Amino acid sequence: MIEIKNSNLDNIYNPQEIENLLAKYASYQYETQELRNSAVLIPILPVLANKSQSNPANYSYQLVMTGRSPKLKHHTGEMSFPGGKFDPKVDNSLKDTALRETYEEIGVSPEKINIIGNLDDLPTLTGWTIRVFVGLLDIPPDFKFSINKEEVAALVKIPIEYISTENLFYKIPFPKDHNFSMLCFDYKDPELNQNFKIWGASAHMLQEFLKKLYNIVVINPEYKRPTLNECLDALKK
C-alpha cells in the first residue's frame, strides 16, 4: 500500500531542493565493530522530460541501479546500487568506498559525482551495515557507462515517476526468517526489454528516499526489518 501526502513531484528535478530536503533529516549512523562496513551510492541521473531545455522544470531524473553478475559469490542476480565493502587499504572513509565502487562498477569517476546527503545506515542479518549516500551524476546525455561485467550483469535506469507510482511496492517474507519482511517491486526496462525485481535492502532504501524527499509512504505497520540489535543477536546464533 502507498499513501501519498503533500507530494512534491510537480517540481521534480531541483538539485538544491533535493540536497536541502536530505539535510533536514539527521541520518542514523551505526558505529559498531561487530558488523562489517560497506557503502552504496544512490546515483541521480537528470534527464530531459521534453524538448525544451530553457525551463529547469522540464527536467526529471532517474535512479541508476545494477543487476549483480552471476559470477559474484554473494547476492548474484539481485538488483542493487553501486557499492561494496570498505577497504582500509584504499578507502579513507565510507564515502570513498561508495565513490570507488561506483567507478569500478559503472565507470563514473568520483569527480563526476556530487554527494548531496545520506540516508540512514542499514544493518543486515548477514552481518553488514550499509551506509547510503545520495549523489548527483554530472555527466553528459550521451555518456557511455563502462560496465564491469565481472560484477554487473545489467545497468537499469528507473524514472522517479515510476518509483513513486501508487501501489507499486508490496511485502514479501525474509527468505530465512519469516519474523521479518521485505519490500519489493517489479520493473520492466524499456531499453533492455527485460523484467527486474527490486527487493530487500535496495527497496528499503528507495522507500526511505521517497519518504524523506516527497513525504510518500510506501510501508504499512506489518512491514518490519530487523533492528541493529536483532542483527547483532542473529550473528551470535
The predicted-structure confidence for 90-119, as pLDDT tens digits, reads as follows 999 999 999 999 999 999 999 999 999 999
3-state secondary structure of 77: coil
pLDDT single digits (tens) 115-167: 999 999 999 988 999 999 999 999 988 899 999 988 888 899 999 989 988 88
pLDDT value of position 5: 42
Q: Which of 199, 176, 196 is nearest to 187 (CA)?
A: 196
What's domain 3-236's architecture? Answer: Alpha-Beta Complex (3.90)
**Burial, 126: exposed, middle or buried (Cβ in 10 Å; 0-12, 13-18, 19+)?**
middle
63, 163 contact by CB (below 8 A): yes
Identify the pLDDT of residue 9.
59
Q: Which of 62, 66, 103 is nearest to 202 (CA)?
A: 66
Query: Tell me, what DSSP letter sits at residue 81?
Result: -
For 201-215, what is the mean pLDDT?
92
CA distances for 161 relative to 65, 98, 193, angstroms: 15, 25, 19
| Domains of the chain by residue range | 3-236
What pLDDT score was predicted for residue 1?
34
Rounded to an integer, the average pLDDT of 28-46 is: 92
- pLDDT for 8: 53
pLDDT value of position 225:
85
Per this entry, what is the length of the chain?
237
